[in-house]
Amino acid sequence: MRVTSTTLSFLIFTSTFALSPLARAQEDATKVATTEVKAAPEKPRVPFLRPQGSYEDLAEMGFDATSLLLGGGGAPPKPFFPFLAAVDALAKVPEAQVVLDLSAGSAFNMPQLRELERALARVRAAGKKVTCYLENVDSGTYQIAAQCNEILMADMGALDLRSPAMSVMHFKDALDLLGLQVEVTRVGEFKGAVEPYMLPTMSDHLRDHYVAMLKSMNDDVVRRIAAGRKLAPETVRALQAQRLFPASEALQKGLVDRLVPWSGAMRAIALVRGDDQFELVEASPKKKAPSRDIMTMLGNLFRQKKDEEIEDPMVVVMHLAGQIVDGDKPAAGSMVSGPAVKKLDELAANELVKGVVVRINSPGGSATASEAIRQALQRLAAKKPVVFSMGDLAASGGYWITTIGQPILAEVGTITGSIGVFGMRFQTGALMRRLGVHTEVVRLDDGPLMDATDRPWSDAARARMQSFVDSIYDQFLVHVATSRQKTKQQIDAIAGGRVWSGQQGVENGLVDAIGGLDDAIAMVKARASVADDIEISHVPEPKNFADSLFSSLFETAVKSSGQAADLRMLLAECGHLHEVVGILREALTGDGSMKVQALMPPGLRVR
């Protein structure tokens, strides 16, 4: 048969048509296979958080150059409130189970633990089962674990259920060895800020006062653990006294729910679930990967950080943290009066700022700097709602700045009060005699001798300084009495330098209520009559590397003298006691004159 082009075209067409059912079947099979691959069920997701390291409020972040100089690691603390927001976000995930991996070692102060307790209660109220994994755990971390539905503990782990305590370092004997004496004028027998420099050991009346404060704080710790683990408070208190528990005994005492092999959170959760067909998914917000370009990295380290421009209506959380000092330039780790006043006045003038929560974490400091900041806060409160939220510390000058008649919230574990003032300077006469140094002060009268650090004050000079300190203390009492609507006599009865827990502060009228930052924000919103979803902004921005480094190198201003060398040695021994560092910094760089301090006892921290 002759095949023409027309015939060939027809055969090709018919052949294709005849084979099309088979081709379609193969195509359908391919589509089905592809669909089956896409439709394969994904592993169930289990959101988790793994806190690690220490956590501080926003303004306390930054590189700690001083700790490097004094032999520390210099590792910066992490911001607490973003982590708290990540915990709160667990309530909104679609998964029914969430995990807290507390095996990495984390440190939260007592007010932060109360905030986390509230957040985890909200997560559980949203119907989420919160499972916790522990290895070796301290009391603070265990308080978080106790708020979970289920606690898994590594079988080789241990629990240290240490009750809260304070360690107060006394320097009197060391100062005597160095040939340094302390000149002090003070008001109030409870002003523990000066005892460590004047006495070799703590006085009995001050010890009794601290014990009462610790008991107030520990009552909240016991309540938190007892409620979470459904134990009697007296049982928890007895367990605290025993303190150390291997994993097997922790299980026996009802402190954990199940022991698992020491093989990590993933395998522990798999063991409890009965399968490993799930995926642990990090619930924290993802951070942008840092640039690996060396010039970009250096630029980021030394670039000046600025607060974001306020472009929409918002409520601002203003962080006032660190020891209060006079000055015009910011210093990492300190609340410097000039920059703080400037920022507060900016907030007062900005119409987009509808209200301000002032978050305080401060042991106090300079009385004059405290008053400058207090007046700026008073100007702010005259224009918009202000509520104070006390963190770990809001004592002495840290309490002074709250005395403007606005609501004050604190946590049970907050240290507050310490209403008292003192003046102190180092007197180096014995040291200078050992070194063979004598100073002549050429003068017209005896007034300049008050600044001479190589000799004690005369009786007349001491009396003048005491009257000066008395007048500032009287002003402190007036501020508190007016703010709290009490008499000076009522405030004096709870002042005199006494420190209080937040709960004691409520009981004696120095604090309005127990509450956290969220409570303070809600109060400001209500007083400002703004929408509940209004933007919240935290200021100021943490300092960058350069700010922290150069503000910490205060010793460069010190001349190489015998006095400076000995004080440096003392500084190295107590570098973690920030109040002591502040006082020694003043001794190293000051002009010998005495400044009046509203400062709490040195190193007074509860852990």
Q: What is the largest CA-CA distance in the chain?
A: 139
CB neighbour list of residue 347: distance below 8 Å, 6 or more residues apart:
316, 318, 353, 356, 380, 539
Q: What is the mean pLDDT of residues 417-427?
A: 83
The answer, yes or no, to whether the previous bond of 164 is cis (omega within 30 of 0) is no
Higher pLDDT, 449 or 357: 357
Report the mean per-residue pLDDT for the chain.
81
Q: What is the mean pLDDT of residues 246-258?
A: 97
Q: What is the mean pLDDT of residues 425-443?
A: 76
Closest by Cα among 334, 403, 388, 382 to 358: 388
**pLDDT value at residue 3:** 41
**pLDDT value at residue 486:** 96
pLDDT of residue 554 exceeding 60, the answer is no
Please report the domains of the chain, with CATH numbers, ordered by start residue.
307-599 (3.90.226.10)
48: Cα separation from own chain's centroid: 23
Strand partners, 530: none
Report yes or no: 240 and 163 within 8 Å, Cβ to Cβ: yes
Read off the pLDDT band of 187 (50, 70, 90).
confident
pLDDT of residue 91 exceeding 50, the answer is yes
Higher pLDDT, 124 or 545: 124
pLDDT of residue 36 exceeding 80, the answer is no
Q: What is the mean pLDDT of residues 578-594?
A: 53
pLDDT in tens, 162-175: 999 888 888 888 88
Strand partners, 321: 361
- Containing 426, the helix (H) or strand (E) segment is strand 422-427
**Three-class secondary structure of residue 188 per DSSP:** coil
Closest by Cα among 476, 512, 482, 493 to 396: 476
**Three-class secondary structure of residue 208 per DSSP:** helix
pLDDT in tens, 127-164: 999 999 999 999 999 999 999 999 999 999 999 999 99
Inter-axis angle of helices 233-242 and 204-229, to 10 degrees? 120
**pLDDT value at residue 393:** 92
Residue 571 burial by Cβ neighbours in a 10 Å radius (0-12, 13-18, 19+): buried
Read off the pLDDT band of 527 (50, 70, 90).
very high
Q: Has this prediction a pTM greater than 0.85?
A: no
**pLDDT value at residue 329:** 86
Read off the pLDDT band of 449 (50, 70, 90).
confident
pLDDT of residue 200 exceeding 70, the answer is yes
The terminus-to-terminus CA distance of the chain in angstroms comes to 104
**pLDDT value at residue 542:** 56
pLDDT of residue 459 exceeding 60, the answer is yes
Q: Cα–Cα distance between 435 and 440 in angstroms, integer?
A: 16
Higher pLDDT, 189 or 42: 42
Q: What is the mean pLDDT of residues 71-93?
A: 82
**pLDDT value at residue 182:** 79
**pLDDT value at residue 64:** 44
Read off the pLDDT band of 577 (50, 70, 90).
low
Q: Cα Rg for the chain, rounded, in angstroms?
A: 31
Read off the pLDDT band of 451 (50, 70, 90).
confident
**pLDDT value at residue 117:** 97
Report yes or no: 183 and 456 within 8 Å, Cβ to Cβ: yes
CB neighbour list of residue 116: distance below 8 Å, 6 or more residues apart:
84, 87, 108, 144, 147
pLDDT of residue 317 exceeding 80, the answer is yes
Q: Cα–Cα distance between 474 and 487 in angstroms, integer?
A: 12
Q: What angle (nearest 5°) sits at the alpha carbon of residue 142, between those of residues 409 and 87? A: 60
